[in-house]
Chain A
Amino acid sequence: MEISGVLSRRNMPDEIGGFDLSPGHSEEEAHVLAVDDSLVDRKVIERLLKISSCKVTAVDSGRRALQFLGLDEEKNSAALDGLKVDLIITDYCMPGMTGYELLKKIKESSTFRETPVVIMSSENILTRIDRCLEEGAEDFIVKPVKLSDVKRLKDYMTREDRDGNEGRGINKRKLGEACDVSPSFSSSPPSISSSSSSWSAPSSPTSLDSPTRRLKTSTCD
């Protein structure tokens, strides 16, 4: 497969079968894939991300997300065309495929297992949070999502860049390498206790600096 690296988005149509692509981005901007079945929440997260200088692709289901990433049976994705994804942010409670199931599928894939996945949920349930983090989620945000939450997400992406990857975003493994890398490359799932943010380690960049992050208090039931 010929991989030409990160391509300019200018040639891409704005709508790819139900995907909402924001036009006019540069390669330096982080690209976030947002997944949420709620139209209201999609609109809000999209704006939150754009105002934080991210490119956004917003889809309404786990299935669409997998299609976009080329992880479904069709293998017909925008991402395989060289479009990098720096972060995936997904709602937990969705009909069809939950955010947790989507997280698992992403972590099972060779192309996207390194991509940070953040889960959003309106429910502050500890077991749910733990389950997601154990499965490799970078962070868990309790809804409603605020600007400060998104700013925090940007920190992951910026921090990774500073580790010497010339602003290529977190999905550092170029798609062409997916064929070369042996399955033993990433042996253990990322855990929050390994706070090393060196890009060569498959560990999560999440450090223990603010454990309260996980347990954001909110006015949930």
Chain B
Amino acid sequence: MDVGQLQRQFTDYTASLFREGFLDDQFTQLQKLQDENNPDFVFEVVSLFFDDSEKLVNNMAKALEQQTVEFKQVDAHVHQFKGSSSSVGAHRVKNVCVTFRNFCEQQNIEGCKRCLQQLRHEYSLLKSKLETLFRLEQQIIAAGGSIPMVE
């Protein structure tokens, strides 16, 4: 595949991620912060986000498994997750966090557990999609091209 085709694939794929709500404007903001001097910025932030997420999701799971669930504790983790997902533009993940926090407030354990499952689902979906995106970037660079700029 030539560079042009790869670049088009990249642009189309990125557009679909926005269209389907996986990403929002904040992701575009991050892309704007990337340049020749910081070519891996988005990748680095997203990697930090995924590392952070693993820990937070595990903490939430543990907290929900307790005999007596400390909803404030669960909410604190969700709040953190909501914050970081919002900062990277992880739109769907963030929305699940919003619902999750409502269930925490209502002390609805079933609702919380459902949200946790949804969270895991959305988060792994996003992870694999972003991995695809980064792979495309690598391919473009390897083929000697440059990453198409965001509108």
| Contacts from A to B (Cβ < 8 Å) | 38-41, 43-44, 47-48, 51, 93, 122, 143-147, 219, 221
Q: Which residue of B lies closest to A221 (CB)?
A: B98
Q: Within the assembled complex, what's the spacing in Å between the Cα atoms of A146 and B88?
A: 11
Q: Chain B interface secondary structure, helix, strand, loop or mixed? A: helix
User: Which residues does chain A contribute within 8 Å of B87, judged by CB atoms?
Assistant: 38, 40-41, 44, 143-145
| Residue B139 lies at the interface, judged by CB distance under 8 Å to chain A | no
Known: A40-B52, A40-B84. A147 touches B29 (CB 8 A): yes
User: Which residues does chain A contribute within 8 Å of B48, judged by CB atoms?
Assistant: 39-40, 43
| Residue B114 lies at the interface, judged by CB distance under 8 Å to chain A | no
User: Which residues does chain A contribute within 8 Å of B49, judged by CB atoms?
Assistant: 40
Instruction: Decide if A41 touches B84 in the complex (CB within 8 Å).
Output: yes
Known: A38-B84, A38-B87, A221-B101. A51 touches B33 (CB 8 A): yes
Instruction: Identify which of residues 3-17 in chain B touch chain A, using a CB-to-CB cut-off of 8 Å.
Output: none
Contact with A along B69-103 (1 / 0, CB 8 A): 00000000001101110111100000000100110
Q: Which residue of B lies closest to A43 (CB)?
A: B45
Q: Which of B30, B41, B52, B86 contacts A39 (CB under 8 A)?
A: B52
Q: Within the assembled complex, what's the spacing in Å between the Cα atoms of A43 and B30?
A: 11
User: Which residues does chain B contribute within 8 Å of A145, judged by CB atoms?
Assistant: 87
User: Which residues does chain A contribute within 8 Å of B52, judged by CB atoms?
Assistant: 38-40
Contact with A along B98-111 (1 / 0, CB 8 A): 10011000000000
Q: Which residue of B lies closest to A122 (CB)?
A: B83
User: Which residues does chain A contribute within 8 Å of B44, judged by CB atoms?
Assistant: 43
| Contacts from B to A (Cβ < 8 Å) | 24, 26, 29-30, 32-33, 35, 38, 41, 44-45, 48-49, 52, 79-80, 82-84, 86-89, 98, 101-102
Jot down 8 A-B pairs with beta carbons below 8 A, ordered by A: A38-B87, A44-B88, A47-B33, A51-B33, A144-B29, A146-B29, A147-B32, A221-B98
Instruction: Decide if B86 touches A47 in the complex (CB within 8 Å).
Output: no
User: Which residues does chain A contribute within 8 Å of B89, judged by CB atoms?
Assistant: 144
Q: Within the assembled complex, what's the spacing in Å between the Cα atoms of A47 and B43?
A: 13
Instruction: Decide if A144 touches B38 in the complex (CB within 8 Å).
Output: no
Q: Within the assembled complex, what's the spacing in Å between the Cα atoms of A143 and B82?
A: 11
Q: How far is the CB of B40 from chain A (nearest CB, A)?
A: 11
Instruction: Decide if B33 touches A147 in the complex (CB within 8 Å).
Output: yes
Q: Within the assembled complex, what's the spacing in Å between the Cα atoms of A48 and B34?
A: 10
Q: How far is the CB of A221 from chain B (nearest CB, A)?
A: 4
Q: How far is the CB of B63 from chain A (nearest CB, A)?
A: 16
Q: Which residue of A lies closest to B91 (CB)?
A: A219
Q: Within the assembled complex, what's the spacing in Å between the Cα atoms of A26 and B29?
A: 27
Q: How far is the CB of A122 from chain B (nearest CB, A)?
A: 5
Q: Within the assembled complex, what's the spacing in Å between the Cα atoms of A93 and B35?
A: 31
Centre residue among A43, A48, A145 by max chain B CB count within 10 A: A43
Q: Within the assembled complex, what's the spacing in Å between the Cα atoms of A48 and B31?
A: 11
Q: How far is the CB of A40 from chain B (nearest CB, A)?
A: 4
Instruction: Decide if B26 touches A144 in the complex (CB within 8 Å).
Output: yes
Known pairs A40-B48, A219-B24; list 19 more (Cβ under 8 Å): A38-B84, A39-B48, A40-B45, A40-B87, A43-B44, A44-B33, A44-B87, A93-B83, A122-B79, A122-B83, A122-B86, A144-B26, A144-B86, A144-B87, A145-B87, A146-B26, A146-B29, A147-B32, A221-B101
Q: Within the assembled complex, what's the spacing in Å between the Cα atoms of A47 and B38?
A: 9
Q: How far is the CB of A140 from chain B (nearest CB, A)?
A: 16
